[in-house]
Chains A and B, each alone.
Chain A
Amino acid sequence: MTSGMVFAATGAVLFAMGVAGVVLLDHLMRRILAFNLMGSGAFLVLVGTAQRDGSVDPVPQAMVLTGIVVAVAATALAITLARRLYTLSGRTELSGTDDD
């Protein structure tokens, strides 16, 4: 098991944790953070599996670099929307998430 696979396995665990967070958490801020965790997990899987034989592949690294910046922008937009929802309705959760 190379160090690349350790990164990839960690990424898979992070991704699963993120999925559980998105499903289980109601507060929008926490849900956004869980979604980011999913993203970070996917990035780790991409970079980790690409160097599982020990050599570095620049293509996935460049893709992940692009992905990180886009994820930052998407997170900022998500937080903007969440803050807008809070300003308009005073809620920090989407409707229909508190039915049980």
Chain B
Amino acid sequence: MRRLGRVGMALVAGLFALTLIVALFELPEPVVRLADEVAANMPASGVEHPVTAVLLNFRGYDTLLEIAVLLLALLATLAVVPEAGLPMTEADGEPVLQTVAQIAAPLIVLAAFYLLWAGAHRPGGAFQAGAVLAAGAVLLRLAGVVPGWVRPGSRLRAGLAGGFLVFLAVAAGLLVGGRLLEYPEDAAGVLILLIEASLTFSLGLILAGLFLFHSGDRT
């Protein structure tokens, strides 16, 4: 009976995929061409790469809400991680792994800085840089170079929330101009770089925290 159900579900899923594909090919031509709108407004955005311009200027509130969602996910994680600690396989005493991780760590930080800086004019930006930073932290944790996090102290809390707070402060400051996240044209580049730098820092900490708070030494 169970096997029959599985075959039936596979058939339904196959039909579903087929329907989706047929529907995709029936899509009408878009009425508004957003790519052209973006291209037309690029000079006013303060950056030269269209994806960064969309993320932090044209659709800035999406990014603001995104970092809020990330912070919320981390807070929820902190709320449910048990006090007693979770079992974790330690890689202690593996000198090759530890040495490689220690050599890689500064290079990872360098790569993150490059990605952050490159975001203004080519693919890159705060999210990629933050993800690279977090990956470095996870690597160091897995190699046993750094301990897991137990409870965030006041400095770590400030770092975790900093990106969101800086972004929120900029958004609130710009409300004086009447609209949410509408940068003055001459200051747009500087403001975006400020937001991206603080976002990178906080994103790295938050994404690393999602892993490191799981692997605390609470035994």
Contacts and interface: CB of A to CB of B under 8 A. Distances in A.
A73 interface: yes
Interface string B25-67: 1010000011100100000000000110111001100110010
Interface of A: 5, 8-9, 12-13, 15-17, 19-20, 23-24, 45, 49, 52, 55-59, 61-63, 65-66, 68-70, 72-74, 76-77, 79-81, 83-84, 87, 100
Given A8-B24, A12-B17, A59-B59, A74 B73 contact: yes
A50 to B, nearest CB: 8
A84 B82 contact: yes
B33 to A, nearest CB: 8
Interface of B: 1-2, 5-6, 9-10, 12-14, 16-17, 20-21, 24-25, 27, 33-35, 38, 50-51, 53-55, 58-59, 62-63, 66, 69-70, 73-74, 76-77, 80-82, 84, 86, 127, 131, 203, 206-207, 210-211, 214
Contacts, number: 116
A19 B16 contact: yes
Q: Is the interface of A mostly helix, strand, loop or mixed?
A: helix
Given A63-B62, A73-B74, A58 B80 contact: no
B13 A76 contact: no
Chain B interface SS verdict (over half): helix
Contacts of B69: 70, 73
13 contacts: A13-B21, A20-B13, A24-B6, A45-B20, A52-B27, A58-B54, A59-B38, A62-B59, A62-B62, A63-B62, A69-B131, A77-B210, A81-B80
